[in-house]
């Protein structure tokens, strides 16, 4: 693949002087990446954590809600898994006069907003599935373009710090989402639409401040069936570090998905909270977790940049997440649940502080950063699909509502994820 020549207008400022240290990324760019991530994730995580479960509960009988929620989440997650690398690959190739990231940032979020409106107004599971599919497809197109901004425009010496800041956005989005869900519980439709507006604002802001450029003519093969299939593939024999990072990310996010997808029903079924009470309890738990995530992200980002090491932080993070998941599995009270979320959140923050920096370090080709980040993001989205499929079988063990089995499964996955990352050789 061709590398962007120094003379290409709009090319990254540090790409033209390989012999000199690249200049630091400007503050408005870092803010823009974080704001876009926050807005898109707010629009997607609010339904995953709270509002989709409540919307399904309004439509189907209580005995059918876990399976119905699994159907909605699984379809959306499959499309997210497909969409992220495909839209990333298309973004890498885009030769629009507006650049190769801007059209996918703004257009993707516009489609996601339309999908969330469909979910808010739909009155059947098939309609919810359609709307959520649009939301996940469009949202992941925007995320693919936003995620590429870090390897595109942030120099390596800042990537741990920026990774930590961006990593916090998921947790801040969780707090914002649960707060909005609680605030709009009397009008659930607004709890879908308002987060989408934040997503639109964030992607538009990043589109304005990003130093974007069109793809270099002739740099890529024409996009056909072969290139479509290649959108999902990075040869693990040629790039084993990339493959180990993908495996580790997938396993860690299996553990995360166990909490984000099923904490609402855990609090209702295990701890006995009603539908009117559960949004507030989720909000409290999420605030506790996010305080810990922010602390872990800031600490891990600064220390990993200072030491130049990533893998020890992944190991410590995943062990802490495993402890948190085991504690949730054993929790019989809301106080124990909060303590577990504190430990889980700090571990998640440590992991997020190095996740993107680790990903950027193992990308095979800088010119295909969006496509390759999209392949890595399969590790984020595939668990959202698989966990709802596996969860009913785990919950059914021993007579039903076996949340202990579900969260112990998540703990094991997190620890195995840490083990996979230790096989990466190019990163300390």
Asked if residue 17 belongs to a domain, the reply is: no
Enter the pTM of the model: 0.67
d(Cα 227, Cα 51) in Å, to the nearest integer? 37
3-state SS of 305-364 is: HHHCCCHHHHHHHHHHHHHHHHHHHHCCCHHHHHHHHHHHHHHHHHHHHHHHHHHHHCCC
Confidence of residue 11 (pLDDT cuts 50, 70, 90): very low
Q: Is residue 319 predicted with pLDDT exceeding 80? A: yes
Asked if residue 65 belongs to a domain, the reply is: yes
Q: Is residue 131 predicted with pLDDT exceeding 50? A: yes
Q: Which of 134-143, 173-182, 305-314, 393-402 has the lowest mean pLDDT?
A: 305-314
For the domain that residue 316 is a member of, what is the CATH number? 1.20.1250.20
Q: Is residue 245 predicted with pLDDT exceeding 90? A: no
Asked if residue 225 belongs to a domain, the reply is: no
Q: Coil, helix or strand for 101?
A: coil
238, two tokens: 């040629």
- Higher-scoring residue by pLDDT: 301, 19: 301
Asked if residue 18 belongs to a domain, the reply is: no
Residues 222-235 have a mean pLDDT of 68
Q: Is residue 18 predicted with pLDDT exceeding 50? A: no
User: Over the stretch 188-215, which tens digit does the pLDDT of each residue have?
Assistant: 889 999 999 999 999 999 999 988 777 7
d(Cα 101, Cα 206) in Å, to the nearest integer? 10
Please provide the average confidence, as pLDDT, over all residues in the chain. 82
Phi, psi of 144 (to 5 degrees): -60, -45
Q: Residue 247: which of 59, 418, 33 has the closest Cα? A: 418
Q: Residue 63: which of 265, 344, 311, 353 has the closest Cα? A: 265
Confidence of residue 186 (pLDDT cuts 50, 70, 90): confident
pLDDT for the residue 233: 63
Q: Coil, helix or strand for 198?
A: helix
Asked if residue 163 belongs to a domain, the reply is: yes
Residues 293-322 have a mean pLDDT of 82
Helix (H) or strand (E) holding 383: helix 369-396
Q: What residue numbers bound the domain in which 100 lies? A: 27-211+235-421
Q: Is residue 323 predicted with pLDDT exceeding 90? A: yes
What percent of the chain shows pLDDT beyond 90? 28
Evaluate whether 101 touches 145 at the Cβ level (below 8 Å): yes
- Higher-scoring residue by pLDDT: 260, 335: 335
Asked if residue 219 belongs to a domain, the reply is: no
Q: Coil, helix or strand for 159?
A: helix
Q: Is residue 3 predicted with pLDDT exceeding 50? A: no
pLDDT for the residue 175: 79
pLDDT for the residue 218: 67
pLDDT for the residue 15: 42
Asked if residue 220 belongs to a domain, the reply is: no
d(Cα 87, Cα 1) in Å, to the nearest integer? 18
Other CB atoms closer than 10 Å to residue 366's CB: what's the count? 15
| Domain count within the chain | 1
Per-residue DSSP letters for 6-22?
TTSTT--GGGG-TTSPP
Evaluate whether 50 touches 177 at the Cβ level (below 8 Å): yes
Asked if residue 224 belongs to a domain, the reply is: no
pLDDT for the residue 360: 73
């Amino acid at each position: 693949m061709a590398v962007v020549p120094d003379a290409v207008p709009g090319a990254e400022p540090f790409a033209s002087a390989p012999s000199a240290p690249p200049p630091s990324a400007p503050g408005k760019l870092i803010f823009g990446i974080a704001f876009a991530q926050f807005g898109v994730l707010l629009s997607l995580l609010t339904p995953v954590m709270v509002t989709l479960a409540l919307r399904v509960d309004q439509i189907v009988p209580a005995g059918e809600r876990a399976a119905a929620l699994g159907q909605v989440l699984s379809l959306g997650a499959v499309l997210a898994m497909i969409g992220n690398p495909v839209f990333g690959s298309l973004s890498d190739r885009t030769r629009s006069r507006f650049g190769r990231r801007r059209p996918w940032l703004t257009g993707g979020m516009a489609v996601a907003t339309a999908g969330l409106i469909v979910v808010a107004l739909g009155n059947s599971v098939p309609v919810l599935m359609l709307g959520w599919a649009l939301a996940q497809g469009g949202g992941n197109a925007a995320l693919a373009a936003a995620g590429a901004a870090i390897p595109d425009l942030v120099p390596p010496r800042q990537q741990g710090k920026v990774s930590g800041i961006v990593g916090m956005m998921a947790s801040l989005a969780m707090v914002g989402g649960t707060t909005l869900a609680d605030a709009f519980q009397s009008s659930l439709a607004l709890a879908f639409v308002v987060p989408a507006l934040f997503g639109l604002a964030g992607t538009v802001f990043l589109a304005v401040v990003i130093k974007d450029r069109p793809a270099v003519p002739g740099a890529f093969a024409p996009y056909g069936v072969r290139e479509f299939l290649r959108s999902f593939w990075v040869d693990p024999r040629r790039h084993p570090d990339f493959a180990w990072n993908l495996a580790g990310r997938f396993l860690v996010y299996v553990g995360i998905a166990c909490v984000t997808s099923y904490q609402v029903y855990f609090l209702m079924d295990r701890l006995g909270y009603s539908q009117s009470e559960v949004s507030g309890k989720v909000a409290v738990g999420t605030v506790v977790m996010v305080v810990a995530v922010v602390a872990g992200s800031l600490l891990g980002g600064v220390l990993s940049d200072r030491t130049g090491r990533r893998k020890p932080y992944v190991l410590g993070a995943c062990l802490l997440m495993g402890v948190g998941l085991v504690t949730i599995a054993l929790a019989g009270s809301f106080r124990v649940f909060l303590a577990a979320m504190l430990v889980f959140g700090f571990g998640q923050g440590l992991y997020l502080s190095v996740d993107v920096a680790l990903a950027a370090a193992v990308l095979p080709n800088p010119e295909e950063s969006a496509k390759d980040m999209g392949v890595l993001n399969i590790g984020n989205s595939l668990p959202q699909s698989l966990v709802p499929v596996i969860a009913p079988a785990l919950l059914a063990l021993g007579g039903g509502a076996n949340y202990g089995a579900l969260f112990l499964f998540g703990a094991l996955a997190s620890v195995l994820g840490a083990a996979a990352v230790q096989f990466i050789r190019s990163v300390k």
